[in-house]
Amino acid sequence: MTHHPVISLTDCADPNAVARQSARIAALFGATPTILPLAGPDPEGVAALTLLDLLRATDLVGGPVHPSVVLVNIAPRDGHWPNGVPFCYFRHGEHLVVSTLTPRVLAPLRTWLGLEQVQVTDVREVVEAAAGQWAELTADQVDEIARTQFRSLWYVPLLARWLVDGHPVPSRTEPVAQAAEDTGPVRVAVIDNFGNCKLDRPAAAVFGRAGADSLRLRRSHDGGTVTVRGFDRLPDVPRGEPGITTGSSGVGFAELVVRGGSAADLFGLREGNPLPLTVGLPQPAGLTN
């Protein structure tokens, strides 16, 4: 059996769920996985930027790489699907990604990595095919896997293992939706441990397109406004001042920072929040809220 490192992004993030997923993935892949719990206010936004970053992190290595497996489980509780949103898969170079079919998570990959389509699976169809060909599963076990609500535990690791092993997993091809970033507000995707706010698009979309060189943002503690200028890097921001820099995430995605402080605290931001632009002042295109 070929061993592949496994990284899992999941909103099933309580200790019990993480322990069970770790044990099952380790048993199937022969190594302890890295599980990143997404327990914040906007798991879809965090997953979107983190998945893009994970795949980008496999570039610029100067030689061959070890294939890895990335699992993404973000489960909308909207009642649209009979037993949850379907799971799909695709490959980025040598790496396999198995993900819930969540447009907001996948759309940035179309924009920035050129991902145009994914292979969508049906749990029962896949498990029944496996039981009839390569997996030792009884009819009762097939039904248990197909009916469970904890599909990120019972189904996704099996799907990933079967794909890595080259089994003919049944699927259908679906296009990846284009991101609607040009019309929506710029949002905070991830807040790092320093309080820097990673935004969901490149710095050029914040300033360059409209020719602006500063924004007016609201402070959280008194509702006053602060002029926030654009800078190339964090070291270019004057100490103690806020700025918008070209950060390390995405493809030159912007970060709202306070050098020596916390932008999240200064502006009262959480993941998923739009930039707190001052109402009534001129705003660059695409930055309305």
| Helices assigned H by DSSP within the chain | 15-29, 43-56, 103-113, 123-133, 139-147, 151-154, 156-164, 203-206, 263-267
pLDDT the model gives residue 286: 41
Tokens of 8: 């899992």
Residue 17 CB: number of other CB atoms within 10 A? 18
Mean pLDDT computed over 37-48: 92
Average pLDDT estimate for 32-47: 93
Q: pLDDT tens for residues 235-280? A: 999 999 999 999 999 999 999 999 999 999 999 999 999 988 874 3
| Residue 281: predicted pLDDT | 38
3-class DSSP string for 121-176: ECHHHHHHHHHHHCCCCCHHHHHHHHHCCCHHHHCHHHHHHHHHCCCCCCCEEEEC
Asked if pLDDT for residue 142 goes beyond 80, the answer is yes
- Contact of 192 with 262, CB cutoff 8 Å: no
Q: How far is CA 34 from the centre of its chain?
A: 15
Task: Report whether 217 contacts 270 (CB < 8 A).
Answer: no
Residue 73: the pLDDT is: 95
108 has a pLDDT exceeding 70: yes
Q: Which tokens sit at 47?
A: 């997953």
Residue 283 pLDDT exceeds 60: no
- Domains delineated in the chain: 6-175 (3.40.50), 188-267 (2.40.30.90)
Amino acid at 193: N
pLDDT of 183 above 90: no
Would you say residue 60 has pLDDT above 60? yes
Q: CA 272, CA 289: separation in Å to the nearest integer?
A: 12
Question: Residue 84: what pLDDT?
Answer: 77
Regarding predicted confidence, which is higher, 83 or 247? 247
Averaged pLDDT for residues 20-29: 96
Q: How confident is the model at residue 80 (pLDDT cuts 50, 70, 90)?
A: low
Q: For 198-225, write each residue's pLDDT tens digit.
A: 999 888 787 654 445 778 899 888 888 9
**Helix, strand, coil % (nearest 5) of the chain?**
30, 25, 45
Task: Give the contacts of 143 (CB within 8 A, at least 6 positions apart).
Answer: none
Residues 6+ apart with CB under 8 A from 118: 88, 89, 90, 99, 101, 106, 173, 174, 176
In this prediction, residue 154 has a pLDDT band, given cuts at 50, 70 and 90, of: very high
Cα–Cα distance, 194 to 38 (Å, whole number): 18
Q: What CA–CA distance (Å, rounded) separates 251 from 156?
A: 29
Percent of the chain with pLDDT over 70: 89
Which pTM was predicted? 0.89
Residue 184 — very low, low, confident or very high, per pLDDT cuts 50/70/90? confident
What is the model's pLDDT at position 209?
43
The pLDDT of residue 39: 86
Name the percent of the chain lying above pLDDT 90: 68
**Could you tell me the two tokens for 167?**
């089994």
Edge to edge, the sheet with strand 253-258 lists 188-191, 197-202, 253-258, 242-246, 225-231, 214-218
Residue 242 Cα distances to 114, 196, 258, angstroms: 33, 10, 4
Residue, of 179 and 162, whose pLDDT is higher:
162
Query: If you search the block for the tokens 């109402």, which residue do you land on?
Result: 279
